[in-house]
Amino acid sequence: MNIAIYPGSFDPFTNGHLDILNRACAVFDEVVVLVAINSSKNTFFSLQERVECLKKVLADHPKVKVDSYEGLTVDYAKKVGAKHIIRGLRAVTDFEYEFQLASANRFASPGIDMVFFMASAENSFVSSSVVKELYRNGADISPLVPSEVLKAFTSKK
């Protein structure tokens, strides 16, 4: 079975993430959406909130599993027998960071490759930070996130 890992903070999961995930599902047999546990990052949603929300959003995606992990994604990939890590690319600014990350992963684990999908035009400006900034300032974020994510925002006070 051809398994891929899609790691990220997903704080929150946006339609941009969903687009990348759906396209990855067309290529791989199983995709694990891996919520990174990064204690140095201050997140808006707790790890538990993000995982629970993702499980609801992706309940009708038979190829997708949701999990969380503290440590290197490549180590998680080895644990589950995955050979590919999915990432998304928006502007050139993403490239530098992703290139460094890909090189670090290759250094740590040469047998695992990164696979990149380019953002679709309508999602190219969508990031978790932009969504949070718009929400804080009272904008309607419903076109940018799955409905379960919108619910998570409105139920969080």
Q: Cα separation of 63 and 7, whole Å? A: 16
Q: Binding segment for ligand ADP among 4-12, 44-52, 64-72, 76-84 (CB under 6 A)?
A: 4-12
Question: CB within 8 A of 102, min separation 6: which ones?
Answer: 87, 114
Q: Which residues pair with 118 in a beta bridge?
A: 89
If one asks whether residue 127 binds ligand ADP (CB under 6 A), the answer comes out as yes
Q: Which is nearer to ligand ADP, 41 or 157 (CB)?
A: 41
The residue among 89, 80, 90, 68 whose CA lies nearest residue 112 is: 80
For residue 17, indicate whether it is catalytic.
yes
Amino acid sitting at position 15? N
Residues 13-72 that bind ligand ADP (CB under 6 A): 14, 16-17, 20, 36
Among candidate residues 17, 50, 84, 87, the one labeled active-site is: 17
Q: Which is nearer to ligand ADP, 144 or 157 (CB)?
A: 144
Strands (E), 9-98: 30-36, 64-69, 84-89
The CA angle 126-63-59, to the nearest 5 degrees, is 70
**Maximum alpha-carbon separation in the chain:** 46
Q: Which is nearer to ligand ADP, 90 or 106 (CB)?
A: 90
Q: Cα separation of 133 and 127, whole Å? A: 10
Residues in the interface with ligand ADP (CB under 6 A) total 17
Among candidate residues 90, 106, 132, 151, the one labeled active-site is: 90
Q: Which is nearer to ligand ADP, 119 or 141 (CB)?
A: 119
If one asks whether residue 105 binds ligand ADP (CB under 6 A), the answer comes out as no
Positions touching ligand ADP (CB under 6 A) are: 8-10, 14, 16-17, 20, 36, 87-88, 90, 94, 119, 123, 126-128
Q: Catalytic residue numbers?
A: 17, 41, 90, 128
